[in-house]
Structure 1
Amino acid sequence: MCRNIKTLFNFEPPATGDEVEAASLQFVRKLSGFQAPSKANEAAFQLAVLEVTAAAQKLLDSLVTNAEPRDRDIELERARIRNAKRFGSA
């Protein structure tokens, strides 16, 4: 899994359309191997991003859980702590 793709489900506030699109773009980049496609592949690349975004949003909208929504600030702080332990404080 691409490290730049973040978990988007069960957060308060919910993931925005921009976050879903950014994750979709990273996914298509990973699959295609292109950071930016050539002119010949640009239309196919952009279509793939749109379709993956739609599928991802449909998935997020249909998922259910009994767990309490996670707080973005708390998760960010936990990530900082994990990174400090892993890489040392900078």
Structure 2
Amino acid sequence: MPELLRVKGNLVRAAKPGAYDEAESYLGRSLEMSRDHGVPGWEMRAAIDLAALLAARGQYDSARALLQPLAERFAEGLDTADLKSAGRLLATLR
């Protein structure tokens, strides 16, 4: 379910320009469910997408505060697509 919510949030964002609140709601629920289920990979994906949405709204500090602590928790798999994506996004938020 967390992954479906994440995908739905991204679809809403793509299909309805300016529907940030609706997309943010889906992405936030995805992030929360990922944490509840204890699945860091899903949590990272939801956080990346939510941080990107926040950055698109000009909320750079909030995006960084969401994504940076989560990215720092990963000690392995630093060459995965998700962690590379998180690193690129964080670099734009500095």
- What is the TM-score with the length of structure 2 in the denominator? 0.30
More strand by share: 1
Q: Which has the higher contact order (CA 8 A, sep 6+)?
A: 1
Q: Which has the larger radius of gyration?
A: 1
